[in-house]
Amino acid sequence: MSVYEKIGGDGAVEAAVDIFYRKVLMDDRISDFFDTVDMDRQRAKQKAFLTMAFGGPNNYTGKDMREGHKHLNLTEEHFNAVAENLIATLQELSVPQEYIDEIVGICLSVKDDVLNK
């Protein structure tokens, strides 16, 4: 079973997405990447990110991640900021530590693609 299923599937993503989005917008290190006028669209993107990070249904490949983030010129600091906000969100929702570790593992598995390394 994926972490996605273990923590409650789409319902868990729904519970997390606004909390995560709020944290990201308040984080000066990365807020500029996400501060667009179309918040509905941005929220859907955040959901796509969380669903993927939880190991839920998606058809993204490593190549997609590389292509999708290349133009952003992301650094280690950006990646860490996203990871920290994600962990804080999961802790706020009382997700057990072992699942958080698994989720961080999934994020790390695409880190090189996201940072285009």
Asked if 74 interacts with ligand HEM (CB under 6 A), we say yes
Asked if 4 interacts with ligand HEM (CB under 6 A), we say no
Q: What is the largest CA-CA distance in the chain?
A: 37
Rounded Cα gap, residues 32 and 23, in angstroms: 13
Q: How far is the CB of 30 from another protein (least distance, A)?
A: 16
DSSP labels, 49-92: HHHHHTT-S----HHHHHHHHHTT---HHHHHHHHHHHHHHHHH
In this structure, the number of other CB atoms found within 10 A of the CB of residue 50 comes to 23
Rounded Cα gap, residues 57 and 77, in angstroms: 28
Judged by beta carbon distances under 5 to 8 A according to partner kind, the member of another protein, ligand HEM, none in contact with residue 33 is ligand HEM
Q: How far is the CB of 39 from another protein (least distance, A)?
A: 5
Asked if 30 interacts with ligand HEM (CB under 6 A), we say yes
Instruction: List residues binding ligand HEM (CB under 6 A).
Output: 30, 33, 42, 45, 48-49, 52-53, 60, 68-69, 72, 74, 78-79, 82, 107, 110, 114
Instruction: List residues binding another protein (CB under 8 A).
Output: 10, 14, 17-18, 21-22, 25-26, 37, 39-41, 43-45, 47-48, 51, 56-60
